[in-house]
Chain A
Amino acid sequence: MHSHAKPLPVRAPFWTPGVLVLTAFMVAGAAFILARFVGGLEAVTNLDQTHPWGIWIGIDVATGVALAAGGFTTAALAHVFGRRFYEPVVRPALLTAMLGYTLVPIALLIDIGRSWAIWHPIIYWQGNSVLFEVAMCVVIYTHVLYLEFIPIVMERFKGRINLPGPLGALNGVAESLLGLADRTLSKIMWIFVLAGVVLSCMHQSGLGSLMLIAPSKIHPLWYTPILPLLFLTSAIAVGFPMVIFEYTLASSSLPLKDETDLMASLSRYTAVLLGIYLALKLGDMVVRGTYAHLLEGTAQSNAFLVELLLGGIVPWLMLLSPRVRRSRRGLFAAACFIIGGVVLNRLNVFLVGYRAPHAQTSYFPSVGEIAVTAGLIAALMFLYRLLVTYLPILSPHGAEASREVIS
């Protein structure tokens, strides 16, 4: 038996004040989504003829996908490289990834002009288009995530099926079907685990290739042929910090087992992974000589400096110190810096660094755009909260007892 910890549904009341706040954000977002489908993008967004993409692409899609990287990095660590010690973080990370990837197509439905045609890429293949590759990988990977999630749902219902009324006669049938599905799935699950990691590498780097189609528009500080590699390495580097971030947040409002030791060992990997990303980024800057732009004093050069220093070098130095790594607070702070750095990087590449010719204005998101993005993030947190309350995902307090019995 491999599992060291036994994840269980969290027995805590669902409708807390926090959840009510989330609901308020979701309602506000929904109102603006409605306005978008009545008045068009023009009614709600600040997009214009020279700025075709805003935060719905820059945050909801590009950043969302990067921050959902915890799903494939923990799966790779625990299930591909066999570090079963990290098992307790796999499920929560899988859940966040699944929710994150579910929201991406929803964000796209809102952003693209012809939402009803969103399925077209499935029949009109265009292999030269980076966007096509990214879209296909994201679609397939989202389904892989659902498949990986099924066993968690089955675990909840196995042996407990109790259909209402006359359907009760079917309980036995349903139960054996569930058992069969469970056995089949567990035999072939390794394929999906591997495919998930491969697909993630493909579309995380693919997102970096997206803006390479505009060499004359993207600021040279970000336009580099290794942008796909930088996107991939930064996504891998932000995976564990996201796990630390979510765990710290979740455990501050839910009665969870203390996993600070586990987080501390996770962060050692992050120090290495972030180091690799920073080395590539700095090396690229030296090779291409773009450091000449560093002190331009423009919005672009300032944004780049903040991204590199606060979002990269500072947290990397923090993680080098064992004292920071062992402290819950230090870890959380470092994770926040890294996440902020990746968020800023995606915003920089997609929005700040994009300088359209003939642009008479610059882009800043409208209230409606911000409200929709905030609403989607709130929806994600809402669903997370809902699912951990009813499904065996986290390891609550007192789970230690059952854990001892098992191991």
Chain B
Amino acid sequence: MNRHRRDFLKTAGAVATLPLLASSARGSDAPPAGKESFGCLVDLTLCVGCRKCEEACNRINALPEPPEPFDDPFVLDRRRQLQPTEFTVVNRFHTGRLDERNRAIPVFVKTQCMHCLKPACVSACIVGALQRRNDGAVFYDVSKCIGCRYCMIACPFQVPKYEYADPVTPRVRKCTFCADVISREGGKPACAAICPVEALTFGRRDKLLELARQRIRSDPGRYIDRIYGEHEVGGTGWLYLSGEPFEKLGFLDLPSRPVPQLTEAIQHGLFSFMWAPLTLFGILGGAMWLTRSGSHLKEDD
């Protein structure tokens, strides 16, 4: 037995340290859309575009005062995007439908984080700073965040926003689902609580789906037969009812497959118990041993 071969056997035990990573790579299963999971139903046929929800959201999250006051109706037409300082915005859409006096009927669309059931942002986050809580809120913990912005790459709705101007302690900013409030008995998100026309209904997601179906059934002329968020990207906590096709209202056409499905399948497929890396290590080790011992035999001759 030559020296290299002995070393090889002696130190083979050290290889056992490699699976250190194994437990991390296996990860946790995505949280179930449990019974206690809350959601919010937005009925676009009811919303009057008063922007009260924007104002309530601004206040409860202690966001800075916006340049235009909340009762300024003109901003509605600007197709505003979510901002680091605006966790929810309402935009006005005209789909071409007219009322009996030939006036265009506006549709107001509130946007915010969808609080996905299988959130891409949560699966992506390198340190687990984003978590989906059992109550349905996708929650951001700034104390863990490193600011890599992978969550912004991952989110299919382009929701998380970033404080680019802050040199040292920038945060990811997005709707919190008023996590502090809804965790209390009877607590409602600020936006849903303030809505004067009850366009926003907060409650258990399964109950909301029932309510939505019931509304469609009882007034089929008012609604199109689709609940946005029921299936999109594996289901979202926030659900929408509409009288107009969602495509005309700026909604994205997304598949029903959960976004993180492929990456998680690859990660867990390759790294459960580190089988793939260890196998590769073994195969390469074998190749190394063969070629080494071969060259040694020749030299020993």
Do A216 and B128 form a contact, CB below 8 Å, given A42-B165, A113-B163, A188-B14? no
A211: Cβ under 8 A from any B Cβ: yes
Interface stretch (choices A44-52, A306-314, A363-371, A387-395): A44-52
Q: How many A-B residue pairs have CB under 8 A?
A: 226
Is the CB–CB distance between A191 and B14 below 8 Å? Answer: yes
A136-B295 Cα distance, complex, nearest whole Å: 35
> Shortest Cβ distance from B33 into chain A, in angstroms?
17
B97 to chain A, nearest CB (A): 24
B163 CB contacts on chain A under 8 angstroms: 40, 113
**Which residues of A sit under 8 angstroms from B15, Cβ to Cβ?**
191
Per-position contact with B for A101-127: 1 when CB-CB < 8 Å, else 0? 000000010011111111011001111
Q: Are B14 and A213 in contact (CB under 8 A)?
A: no
Set of chain B residues within 8 Å of A187, measured between Cβ atoms: 7, 11
Question: Which A-chain residue is minimally distant from B279 (CB atoms)?
Answer: A198
CB of B146 within 8 A of chain A?
yes
Give, as a whole number of angstroms, the nearest-CB distance from B124 to chain A. Answer: 5
Most buried by A among B123, B167, B168, B292: B167
| Cβ-defined contact, A135 with B147, below 8 A | no
Q: Is A354 among interface residues, defined by CB-CB distance under 8 A? A: yes
Q: Is the CB of A190 within 8 A of B7?
A: yes
A356 contact set on B, CB distance < 8 A: 158
A298 within 8 A of B: no
Decide if A131 touches B126 in the complex (CB within 8 Å): yes
CB pair A190–B277 under 8 Å, yes or no, is: no
Residue of B nearest to A350 (CB): B153
Chain B contact residue count (CB 8 A cutoff): 75
Enumerate chain B residues within 8 angstroms of A211, measured Cβ to Cβ: 153
Q: Which of B123, B147, B292 contacts A213 (CB 8 A)?
A: B123
Determine whether the beta carbon of A40 is less than 8 Å from that of B288: no
Segment of B43-51, B102-110, B252-260 engaged in the interface with chain A: B252-260
Interface string of B146-162 (1 = CB under 8 A from A): 11111011101110011
Closest CB in chain B relative to A373 CB, distance in Å: 18
* Cα distance A82–B291 in the bound complex, in angstroms: 5
A120 near B127 (CB under 8 angstroms)? yes
Would you give the 0/1 interface string for A175-193, flagging 1 where the beta carbon is closer than 8 Å to chain B?
0000000000001101101
Does B25 interact with chain A (Cβ within 8 Å)? Answer: yes
Nearest B-chain residue to A193, judged by Cβ = B288
Q: Say yes or no: A358 contacts B81, CB within 8 Å.
A: yes
B145 to A117, Cβ gap below 8 A? yes
Whether A52 lies near B162 (C-beta < 8 A) is: yes
Known: A49-B152, A52-B150, A128-B123. 9 other contacts (CB 8 A): A36-B167, A37-B168, A76-B284, A113-B170, A124-B128, A130-B266, A199-B277, A213-B124, A225-B266
Q: List 10 A-B contacts (CB under 8 A).
A: A40-B170, A114-B146, A114-B147, A117-B146, A124-B129, A129-B150, A191-B14, A202-B277, A213-B120, A213-B260
CB-based closest 4 A-B pairs: A113-B147, A82-B291, A127-B27, A52-B149
Binding site for B on A (CB under 8 A): 2, 36-43, 45, 47-50, 52-53, 76, 79-82, 84, 108, 111-118, 120-121, 124-133, 135-136, 187-188, 190-191, 193-195, 197-199, 201-202, 209-217, 225, 228, 354, 356-360
